[in-house]
Amino acid sequence: MTTSLTAQDAYRRKLTSAHDAVRLVQDGETIVVPTGVGEPPSLLEALSERRRELHGVAVEQIIPFRTFDYYDPETVDHVRHTAYFYGGPTRPGGQAGWIPYRPNYFTEMPSLIREGLFPCDVVFAMASEMDEHGYFSISLSTDYTMAAIEKARCVVLEVNPRVPYAYGECHVHVDQVAAVVEDDRPLTTVGLPEIGPVQQAIGAYVADLIPDGATIQIGFGAIPDAVVMQLTDRKDLGVHTEMIGDGILSLVEAGVVTNRLKNLLPGRSVATFALGSERLYSWMHRNRALEMHPVDFTNDPYVVGGIDDMHTINATVEIDFIGQCCSESMGWMPYSGTGGQSDFVRAANRSKGGKSFIVTPSTAKGDTISRIVPTLKPGAHVSTSKNDVNYVVTEYGVAQLRGKTNQERCRALIDIAHPKFREELGIKAQEMRIL
């Protein structure tokens, strides 16, 4: 192991500008970038400026948050983005066809990278400041990034003093790094979403089914956060999730989350990426009550399924009479990606006392469209299968589907549809010979 002095010397030798660091990228290579907040803006800006000098380079990532100039259909032969999951900046390109998508389960991404099924030559990632032993923390997006760092020919870190130094399996030594750049701009922040009466009603139904001592996984969005806000009277909740956000932080600060009863890493909340406020990032810094781990640990259904009373909450776009959930497209048109929804649904089904919740408002577009439908739209991407779905919740109630027949499922789902659509759905179910 290098000494502290040697680590500092190595850091100084490797410190360079973003403009010079991107010259390490060679034609035909694939750059892997972490999820969301962990994306390194100065490196991606420098890559954008240099993109016309390169040929056949790909940048691959889940959920980008910032818009970079390399998102450009005119220069895709030079630098092209490939999505593991579409976000706001990349969705238009995905829907127009010039940003391709790699289907995946979030939990399997590290193995796909290690096995070479997902290419990885270079890693650009944001990191904390180096500690006295020469280690950086990839705290904001550990996810698939740690596997990519193991696999890559070249690793470039963008060190930002605002990035928390977290604990867990999220550390990279300076000896593993080819170049370091520095940047101190504010991190991307996301506040709690606006919660209306529909989200509040759904949240109340779910919260009523989460007991004291449960371990929770919360997805992103108004409905999952509405659930969180109605758990403030619970005791000894645990957290094992993919995303740590301000909703969970509010439960920690209220004393609701203790992790005391968890049978996997008791006493510690576990996540693979962070998305929230500066307050959240500050709380993460050197906090022994939190560990950030790669996604093949946090989302593995066999690992998470071993946690007793695992309760998972995720949203969907549309669900059909037999329980197929489309959570990532509008018909054939891509919108996001599979992410970790299927991972956690399967995990909760394996858990002793566990429950998985798929949550959705009953309608869309001002109550003109039912989200409970006879069949999914043509080309819809099935995110959670009929064999995995368990509890489905709208503002009109709860449908428990696992173990039920197609007829029982259909009746239960129509019962929680918006009242204006129930008669129409019932007629269609008869035409389909389900009811």
242 classed as catalytic: yes
As a whole number of angstroms, the distance between CA 389 and CA 349 comes to: 9
Going 370 to 374 to 376 to 378, the CA torsion angle's sign is negative
Q: Determine the Cα–Cα distance for residues 335 and 90; give it in Å rounded to an integer.
A: 10
For helices 419-431 and 406-415, angle between their N-to-C axes, nearest 10 degrees: 160
Helix 246-253, helix 222-229: angle, nearest 10: 10
Q: What are phi and psi of 332, to 5 degrees?
A: -80, -15
Q: What is the largest CA-CA distance in the chain?
A: 76
Are 263 and 238 a contacting pair, CB within 8 Å? no
Using the structure block, give the residue that is written with the tokens 């030594």.
Answer: 173
CB 379 within 8 A of CB 366: no
Alpha carbon distances (Å) from 92 to 38, 84, 381, 383: 22, 15, 18, 21
* DSSP code for 185: P
End-to-end, the C-alpha distance of the chain in Å comes to: 68
| Residue of 68, 73, 32, 38 lying closest to 50 (CA atoms) | 68
Residue 400: C-alpha distances to residues 75, 221, 430 (Å): 49, 22, 21
Strand duo 122-127 + 318-320: pairing: unpaired
Q: What is the 3-state secondary structure (H, E, C) of 79-120?
A: EEEEEEECCCCCHHHHHHCCCCECCCCHHHHHHHHHCCCCCC
Q: What is the dihedral of CA 139, 141, 147, 148, to 10 degrees?
A: -110
Non-local (6+) Cβ contacts of 270 within 8 A are 168, 239, 240, 241, 264, 290, 291, 292, 293, 298
Q: Which of 45, 60, 158, 242 is catalytic?
A: 242
Give helix 222-229 / helix 197-207 axis angle, nearest 10°. 60
**Catalytic sites, residue numbers:** 242
